[in-house]
Structure 1
Amino acid sequence: MPDATAEPHPSSSPPTDATAEPHPLSRPLPAGTLIYDGDCGFCTSIARWVERRISDDYLVVPSQQVDLGTIGLTDEDVARSAWWIDPDGTRSDEHRSIAGALRAMSRPWPAVGRLLTLGPINPLAGWTYRMIAANRYRLPRFGNPRRCDR
């Protein structure tokens, strides 16, 4: 996986078309960011829950509004998993992304976030995340996902 702090390829240059709008989040991401699939009703519902509880110092944003290349992610990466980007640029996926977001909330959520990545709970949390992610389109209660049928 590419390094999140890697510089853009020297041969890449900005578009010369004056009408081209910059990518919504081509600027550096803030202190911490949760990136989720904005085309998925389930993911969007969970992201809204996180957004209501997370500190204002952090950002919750759909992957469709992020210049993924600048943080070393691909469309395939964000289709597979939510991502947490730490202030130092460290990327975490799957249950570790949820744990990162929980640690950025007020009590009692940081303890829950730490718990998700401890000892025997870590593999169970990973398995649970992958099971939910693989079946998220079957959760109609969370809206009508447009592209959640992967």
Structure 2
Amino acid sequence: MSTFVYDGDCAFCTSCAEFIERRIPTGARVVPWQFAELDRLGLTEAECEEAVQWVGSDGSRAAGPDAIAALLASSGRGWRIAGAGLRIPPVRAAAWPAYRWVARNRHRMPGGTAACSLPQETRDRLYGPSAG
């Protein structure tokens, strides 16, 4: 079974995962990394803290917007089209900076809380220095 792994300590991430479970028909398991068998999935905590992760039933792996595209590709027709759109090179190139911006600011997103915010040093290490 394919697995989509997110940060269960982040309210924004959890809200997004709940949206996936309610609205996106996928056979993938959607699980917070804190409760996932990371060794079995071949993932590390550091990878999971950096971005959402996808581990396909075929062993394929993806992170960040590529993981989201893989999840969507495993879903119903309309969602598969959105996933294919996310894989178009110019869209994919724009998706990564957008994903990093959201990750850096997830505590400010709808459903986010101060607990979603990584320490500044960690944010800088993972996503580069913030502009403001």
Q: Is the structural similarity TM-score above 0.5?
A: yes
TM-score calculated relative to the size of structure 2 = 0.81
Uncovered stretches (5+) of structure 1, i.e. residues with no partner: 1-30
The secondary structure found in structure 1 opposite 2:34 is helix
Please list the CA deviations of residues 75-134 of structure 1 after superposition, one character each: whole Å capped at 9, or x if unmatched: 111011000111111110010111111112213111111111112111101111111111
Give the whole-Å Cα distance in 2 for the aligned partners of 1:146 and 1:42. Answer: 10
Q: Secondary structure at the match of 1:92?
A: strand
Q: Does 1:149 align with 2:123?
A: no
Looking at secondary structure, tell me which structure has more helix per residue.
Answer: 2
1:147 deviates by 4.5
1: CA distance between counterparts of 2:114 and 2:55? 25
TM alignment of 1:31-42, pairs within 5 A: 31-42=1-12
- The sequence identity of aligned pairs, in percent, is 36
TM-score normalised by L of structure 1 = 0.72
SS at match of 1:60: strand
CA RMSD of aligned residues (A): 1.6
2:85 to 112, 115, 118: 115
1:56, 1:95 → 2: CA distance? 17
CA distance in 2 between counterparts of 1:128 and 1:92 reads: 17
Q: How many residues align?
A: 119
Segments of 5+ residues of structure 2 without an aligned counterpart are 120-132
| Structure of greater Rg | 1
